[in-house]
Amino acid sequence: MPAMDLDTALTTIGYGCGQVIIFVVSFFIYMYSVCESMSVSYVVVLTSCEFATTKEEKTLMASSLLGGMVASGLFIGFLADTYGRKCIIRLALLGALGFSTLSALMPEVYSLSMMRIIVGVFLSGVASLQVGFLIEFHAPKWRPTVVALCGQSVSAALIFCPLMAMGILHDDFSVTISSDYDMRPWRFLMIVVQLPGWLALLGISLVPETPYYYISVNREDKALNAIQWVCRMNRKKWEDLDISGISPDDRTSISEEGGFLKRMWFDSMRLFQRPYVGTTIICLLLIFGLFFTSIGLGIWFPAIRNMDNSGSHRLCDLVRNNPVFKNPKWNVNGTSSAEPFRCNDVMTNLIDPIYYGLAYFGCYTLSAVLVRFLLRKYVIALHIGVAFVFGLALNGVSQATLVLISFTGMMVMPGVLIPLASSVLIDALPIHLRGKALCLVRSLARLGAVVGSTIVGLLIRVSCDLTLNFFNAYLVVSFILAIFLPK
């Protein structure tokens, strides 16, 4: 009986408890990465008085973790393709959780920002490799649906964070450590939102490495063991299946020639050569746009909505009156100037962030349904088109509910597409380039989040309308790119 390739073997075994376990582990991995990324949305507001932060310092805090993720993503993928998805995800979780705990103890804004950069270096592997780890336990026909469903971890994280904030920030307490250092509630919030990460670390330690990785390093015996684990978890008898072994694929083997940097450079450059260059560049520019709008603008959502949003006001009118975007004014002696500044470090609106998370839940559900009936690229284009309509509406609508719906929809509709657009790279590239492609493309694409976050932090108070329409303009570019994605 001839050996099978992995896609056929996974299809023969069928979907069952094994894939559900991998799904749950991947769910908590991605949920943690979102919790860690979004917690700074609350810290930016909650440290305004304690650190007397300017808008530039707020922007630094908001972008620091994303900057670290950009830096490490350039080589994390190479490590994952060399040492395995599970190994790198587990190490990345340990590093991110450890340094995140330390960052919650930092005494001032610059040390906090530096620690968040280090957290981002580790978190890049957690966020980027999760989709590859998930997909490589699933047959091709299930992948788009599973990726869309696992994206619900984003909505879970976006609901989890404000719920934890409601519980912890309810009373303005502090634990005095020394005369000039207090443990205020925001520090405990940063620690509590790590809970999904600890669950993910436990889960990733209990499941096997992906069979596709073992095939890429010519370990067919290990790949067979991983497939047999799936079979056992699915309550199938191995003897009843027509699988005698897993066939190797010469196209997937990893080169062992040259040093680390030489091999990393060679394999990375292959992504920008035929026949992969078209797919790589289209996916890169598209995912850049998704991060630019959904994360770059979305990371400021709790801060922008942290005020009285009732009444008939355009979004930009609300921004102009938002104290979060005003700078404290001090004279050279350190005393307040003639124009007094009242800092705002209280989260007065934690309901809108919950609506934001519920919107992600609805849109992920919609994308999971649509992807069963439409080509993946048309689902992506449809979501981006709707986001553009919402973005245009923000230029004119002033009714409170419509402003919330339009602002939320503009960010959520592209945000739910990040895992789905990333899955294009999985299906379009050979196994030994997948980890590199995912991390390299998503790392470079995260520059979009850094650029978007910086634009909002520095310019939205200067020219809100122009800032919002920057995002609308790139949504048009993203829509065109989506049409040219491979099937």
Concatenate the DSSP letters of all residues of 291-326 into one string.
Answer: HHHHTTTGGGHHHHTSS---SS--HHHHHHT-GGGS
CATH among 1.20.1250.20, 3.40.50.11890, 1.10.150.130, 3.40.50.620 for 6-242+259-326+346-483: 1.20.1250.20
- Residue 192, pLDDT above cutoff 90: yes
Cis omega (within 30 of 0) for bond into 419: no
pLDDT confidence band for 332 (50 / 70 / 90): very low
Q: What are phi and psi of 121, to 5 degrees?
A: -60, -40
What would the two tokens of residue 261 be? 């940097």
Highest mean pLDDT among 5-19, 146-160, 186-200: 186-200
pLDDT at 335: 44
pLDDT (mean) for 454-483: 91
The domain locations on the chain are 6-242+259-326+346-483
Sign, CA torsion 437/29/41/351: positive
pLDDT (mean) for 333-354: 66
Closest alpha carbon to 219 in 63, 83, 332? 83
The residues, any chain, with a CB within 8 Å of residue 12's CB and separated by 6 or more, are 4, 241, 242, 243
Task: Name the amino acid, one letter, at 392.
Answer: L
For 319-331, the pLDDT digits (tens) are: 888 777 766 544 4
- Strand-pairing partners, residue 246, are 4
- Residue 431, pLDDT above cutoff 90: no
pLDDT confidence band for 416 (50 / 70 / 90): confident
pLDDT at 197: 96
Task: Name the amino acid, one letter, at 279.
Answer: T
pLDDT confidence band for 251 (50 / 70 / 90): very low
pLDDT (mean) for 422-449: 76
- Residue 152, pLDDT above cutoff 50: yes
3-state secondary structure of 7: helix
What would the two tokens of residue 435 be? 């980890």
Asked if 436 and 74 touch (Cβ cutoff 8 Å), the reply is no
First to last CA, the chain: 33
Asked if 124 and 116 touch (Cβ cutoff 8 Å), the reply is no
pLDDT confidence band for 273 (50 / 70 / 90): confident
Name the more confident of 461 and 122: 122
With residue 175 as reference, give the H or E element that holds it: strand 175-178
- Residue 466, pLDDT above cutoff 50: yes
For 62-105, the pLDDT digits (tens) are: 889 888 888 777 677 778 878 888 999 999 999 999 999 999 99
For the stretch 443-478, what's the b/e string if a residue is b when 16 or more beta carbons lie within 10 angstroms of its beta carbon?
A: bbbbbbbbbbbbbbbeebbeebeebbebbbebbeeb
- Residue 172, pLDDT above cutoff 80: no
pLDDT at 246: 66
* pTM > 0.75: yes or no: yes
